[in-house]
Amino acid sequence: MKHASGNFGSLIHEAVKVVPDKPAILAEGVSVSYRQLEENMNRAGQLFRQYGIRKGDRVALLFPNDYRFIEICFGLMRIGAVPLPLNMKLNVDTLSYIVRDSGASMLVSHHSLLDKAWQIDRSRLTAPMVVVGSEDAGPERSGPSEPAASGKPDRSGFASGELLQYEVLAASMSAELEVEPVEPDDLCFLLYTSGSTGKPKGCMLTHGGQWWNAETNRRIMLIGRDDRSLVSVPLYHKNAMINAVKPCLLAGASIVVLPGFDPANVLAAIEKYRVTYTTGVPAMYKLLLSHYKENAGYDTSSLRFIVCGSSEVPAELMNELQKSFQVDILEAYGLTEGGPQVLVSPRWGIRKQGSAGLPIPGCRVRVVSLDGEERDLPNGEVGELWVNNPGVAVGYWNLPEVTRQRFTPDGWLKTGDLVRFDEDGYGYIVGRKDDMINIGGENAYPKEIENILQQHAEIEDVCVVAMRHEVKGWAPAAFIVKKWGSSLTESAVQEFFLQRGPAYAHPRKVIFLEQMPLAGTGKVDKAALIKMLEQKGLR
């Protein structure tokens, strides 16, 4: 139920009334009840107000997985400020660009990332840096030991007011807070995309859109108060927020926060906390399954389902997960600009292998032709996915021209992703519009090539990208991780594909790797693969 203020920062108001003493957040050595979380959010809001943060101000958050990210994020929303989560794996130059471009007023850093935070360009910030968790680290790790004159923070930064200790200040604040009223179209989140095709772009998400998306996901995943979600993916990423944090807090469920993904820790946490579902990406689930098989004894009987996004779950992996854990697997598709959730496999009906599922309720989709005429295509044909729902971003921060290119005046987002829908309305993501390979006039889609190659019994993982071809212009190149003990050869891979797929789309080059390079989101780092091709003179 939406709060009277319309402010998404108050999404736990119902749970506080109904289950105030129930754990909202669980972490190692930590249990935070809904009543405590409400008070912590209010204290955070009071702290930021005291240091001049007002409605509409952007505040950058540089965090690993720490439960306090949640209270600070929603505490900022409660005063009408706009959280700006930063990807801690980005380099300092990129982080500096985001902080400058967003016009952030303040930077909040976890103590473990203080060295990196200190290197970020903070010349335009209007408030001191807030440091979270410095008390946890003990006096010997309050800050780097070098003197401030060296360009790094030291303990004197806290004494001078250049650095603020979050826990000390928050504890002195009132646990009561008047929530800032907002309009549905007011800015709630500013989330920067990964920037894989250029500089990161700030996606503007609204309070009204976030209420809709959180409530919709809570309903379609059937999340109730008895659920416990495990989060080992980054809290700053959409996967964790929309599949776990937001719907669970709205439902009065519990969230188990781990510092990061480690198969042994995940399995131990599932057993210890009686976790009912978790969210992740295929690469994580492969590692989880492998560890589970090699280390018997984990009790995972509490698991009811798992959510998987970012890429399609290979059929073999899906079957093994279902067999080992006895759970439903919900594939999903979303993007930051899209709300973010767009498609999800239903828990209550048919789930189809390879499909990201059905459009979530309230989300309209179009499959648009690639010939420039923007025709709507029938089921079965591949086109660009266009999305319209209440959660779609209202545009890109400071990028009016790019906003006009990607968002139509009547609210449709051009996702840049290629999709086809079957006769039952299930969507299948084929790849990126930019990834489509024109092979001498024939269009080939890397995802469909990968799906065929994944059927080979000796292939563990595969990723297809475009390479230069002296006759065709462009052609597929397949990067493959073989299963242990395999003697698979390039010619055997090519012959396998030719027996099952169109000849024009067969990979002209096969490169075997020990493991796939992964980006910070858990997806395959295609930029790294392209660089390998460049080094071989194939791009």
Domain ranges of the chain: 8-182, 225-382+409-432, 436-535
Q: What is the CATH number of domain 225-382+409-432?
A: 3.40.50.12780
Asked whether 358 and 343 are in contact (CB, 8 A), the reply is yes
Model pLDDT for residues 304-317, shown as the tens digit of each residue: 999 988 777 878 88
Instruction: Map 345-402 to HEC letters.
Output: CCCCCCCCCCCCEEECCCCEEEEECCCCCCCECCCCCCEEEEEECCCCCCCECCCHHH
Is there a shared CATH topology between the 225-382+409-432 domain and the 436-535 domain? Answer: no
Indicate the range of 80-89, 137-146, 313-322, 349-358 predicted with least confidence: 137-146
Model pLDDT for residues 170-226, shown as the tens digit of each residue: 999 999 999 999 999 999 999 998 755 578 999 999 999 999 999 999 999 999 999
Tell me the CB-side half-sphere exposure of residue 260, using CA atoms within 13 A. Answer: 8
Query: How many residues does the structure list for the chain?
Result: 539
Q: Is 95 helix (H, G, I), strand (E, B) or coil?
A: helix
Work out the mean pLDDT of the chain and round it to a whole number: 90
The pTM is what?
0.85
Tell me what pLDDT residue 156 has. Answer: 52
Residue 473 has pLDDT above 90, yes or no: no
| Overall fold of domain 8-182 | Rossmann fold (3.40.50)
Residue 138 has pLDDT above 80, yes or no: no
CATH architecture of the domain with range 436-535: 2-Layer Sandwich (3.30)
Tell me what pLDDT residue 159 has. Answer: 55
Q: What is the mean pLDDT of residues 466-478?
A: 90
Helix (H) or strand (E) holding 479: strand 473-482
